Amino acid sequence: MNDAIIVNQVSKKFKVHHDKSSTLKEKILFQNRNSHEDRWVLNNINLNIKKGECIGLIGENGSGKSTLLKLMTRIIYPSSGSIEIGGKVSSLLELGAGFHPDMSGLENIYTNASIFGLSRKEIDERIQEIIAFSELEDFIDNPVRTYSSGMYMRLAFSVAINVEADILLVDEILAVGDANFQKKCFEKMKKLKRNKNTIVIVSHDLASLQKICDKVIWIQDGEIKKIGEARKICDEYMLFMGQKEGKKNLSNDIETNRDKEISGESKDENISNNNRWGNKKVEITEVKILDANNFKKNSFETGEKIILEMFYKVNENINNPIIGVQIFTSELINCFGTHTQIDNIDVELKKTGKIRFIIEESRLINGRYFVDVAITDEYGVPCDYHSKLYEIVMYSNLNDIGIYRPKHIWEVK
């Protein structure tokens, strides 16, 4: 079989009890308290994951992605349908499950590794690798109750990641430990991928998913909305979430729109499409990309000055407006973003005017880049958000690697 995981018409429901009685007396006196409803978390999921694939699961909180992962681990079982697993599974769902606080780190390694199905001999062969990976050599004989939360998570991750399994299931644990340890964990994941392990990751860290995943599955309201190439699906998901946020209005705006609907004067005053959204209280009427001489330009050499000029129109006064700028690579990796609140800039808008954002010396290297601009109110509700509407091209005669060229010198002694 070429399939590592086959999900066939799987649905899952949970019983949600309303005011459930907790004692025999309450059950007798308040029989109506035991009412419940069936809540379907997943609806008719069909999915084939090939051996050696790395798949990301994304979606809003409550969409059902973690439930699907738990079904794959057989922690819970589907209400209907079936899941076939082809190989040994290691799951990173709740790190440290099975750890005993009074046992030492070393003792807990043996206990936890045995839960994953390793024999004593297999654990003996890997014990030094597990300890070294956790970076807890000096504390391994101490009780884990004396560990910080970061040390605890590092030990748990080190045990789970060093179990040789055909399939690795990961739920929201890509941010374990400090920055250096996170990098090491990510490199370990990439090594497992190169070794043709099958990996399924649930995460809200879209940048990490784009780096490691072959495909991404977007789950919405318990159903598969889209499956496809990681960067493409993550981009569509970010646009969807941005539009959803942009459509949120303050309560008085909602009431105003309801009144208009009742009176027959309903009119959609919101901007809303794939690349632009907001409540239109302030509009960005034009955006220009200029060079140091104020000439329109979208192609720059590394080190040049870049000016973003935004023209605006105020339709309704808002308190403490925030102006933001964000730059992405053509692969939608976030390079840089800031806004006036971060930079402690107080903004007062006139009826019409313009805003200039000046990058004194661009350090981006060769490539195409997208620019987002936005005006929001003081609570972050978008008035006008322009997403991926503007592009700049950077060029350089240098062959740097990455996306950014810092000022630097070499010293060899």
What pLDDT was estimated at residue 31? 60
In angstroms, the CA 334 to CA 133 distance is: 29
Cα(340)–Cα(326) distance, integer angstroms: 12
- In this prediction, residue 111 carries a pLDDT of 87
Find the radius of gyration of the CA atoms of the chain.
Answer: 26
pLDDT of residue 267: 42
Cα distance between residue 283 and residue 384, in whole Å? 6
Specify the pLDDT at position 222: 92
Domain boundaries, the chain: 278-395
CATH pick for 278-395 out of 1.25.40.10, 2.70.50.60, 3.10.180.10, 3.90.1330.10: 2.70.50.60
The confidence score (pLDDT) of residue 155 equals: 87
In which residue are the tokens 């999900």 written? 7
**pTM check: above 0.75:** no
Scored b (16 or more CB within 10 A) or e, 113-151 reads beebebeeeebeebbeebbebbbbeebbeeebeebeeeb
* Residue corresponding to tokens 């339709």: 315
Alpha helices per DSSP H over 6-87: 24-29, 65-73
Sign of the Cα torsion 53, 54, 58, 62 reads: positive
Judged by DSSP in three states, 133 sits in helix
> Quick one: DSSP state of residue 128?
H
Q: Which of 210, 227, 237, 215 is nearest to 60 (CA)?
A: 237
- Could you give the C-alpha distances from 307 to 293, 294, 344, 392, in angstroms and in order? 10, 8, 20, 11
Residue 250 has a pLDDT of: 37
Q: How many CA atoms lie within 13 A of 22 on its CB side?
A: 1
Segment-wise mean pLDDT, segments of 10 residues, the chain, 413 residues: 89 78 63 70 93 92 90 90 88 72 91 83 91 91 88 84 84 67 81 90 80 91 92 76 52 48 48 78 94 88 92 93 92 88 91 95 88 90 91 78 84 90
